[in-house]
Copies of this chain bind each other. A is one copy, B any other.
Amino acid sequence: MPKLGMEPIRKTALVKATIMEIGRAGSLDVTVGQIAKRAGMSTALAHHYFGGKEQIFLAAMRHILTLYGAEVRGAMVLAKTPEARLEAILLASFSPANFRREVVSAWLNFYVLAQTTPGARRLLAVYQRRLQSNLVAALRPLVGARAVALADAVGALIDGVYLRAALSERPSDAEAAVQLIRAYLAAEIQERKE
């Protein structure tokens, strides 16, 4: 039965299964056995391809980041004005995809992991730098030198609002979240113009 070239197929299956299992458990308290089962293979094979549990988790985190990055980039190319680019970042950050249970869970556990696992910390830094540079690029034409400080604030605001929305009872109050940040931005940009 062994067909060749299975490695990438098995790996992506494991990554997806990992994310789903993390969502189901709400934590990283997930066994290799559960992941392998959901991915339709033996635990031995999971170990064979990834070498260990931590590496499976990191691959899953990388995947989440990749999806998010793709979403932002996809929305950005369509946006021609700075305002539209800001809006695109917001919409991508609060898209329904980011409020799926598995994704929320992955992000929260990502933060936890970042405290102790260098790999996770690096990935988180990548995400933050990318967001920051996107924000600065969009804000510069609107507020000039204040762009960097404003981007810091908006970045933190996105994280904080996401955190609250993700953990609120009403699942995915995304529209209100975006609205809040939009209002903030409008006020800050306005201020500059006057």
- Number of residues in A with C-beta < 8 Å to the partner? 37
CA–CA, A155 to B177, complex, Å? Answer: 12
**Quick check: is A41 within 8 A (CB to CB) of the other chain?**
no
Least CB distance, A20 to chain B, in whole angstroms: 15
**A115–B124 CB distance below 8 A:** no
Q: Answer whether residue A105 sits at the interface, using C-beta atoms and an 8 A cutoff.
A: yes
B residues in contact with A153, CB < 8 Å: 157, 180, 183-184
Among residues of B, the one whose C-beta sits closest to the C-beta of A105 is: B115
Q: Which of A109, A116, A149, A156 has the most CB of B within 10 A?
A: A156
Q: Which chain B residues border A39 with CB–CB below 8 Å?
A: none
Whether B163 pairs with A111 at a CB distance below 8 angstroms is: yes
Inter-chain contact B104/A115, CB cutoff 8 Å: yes
Given A105-B115, A108-B112, A187-B187: A161 touches B167 (CB 8 Å cut-off): no
* Residues of chain A whose beta carbon lies under 8 Å from any beta carbon of chain B: 25-28, 101, 104-105, 108-109, 111-116, 121, 124, 128, 149, 152-153, 155-161, 163-164, 167, 180, 183-184, 187-188, 191
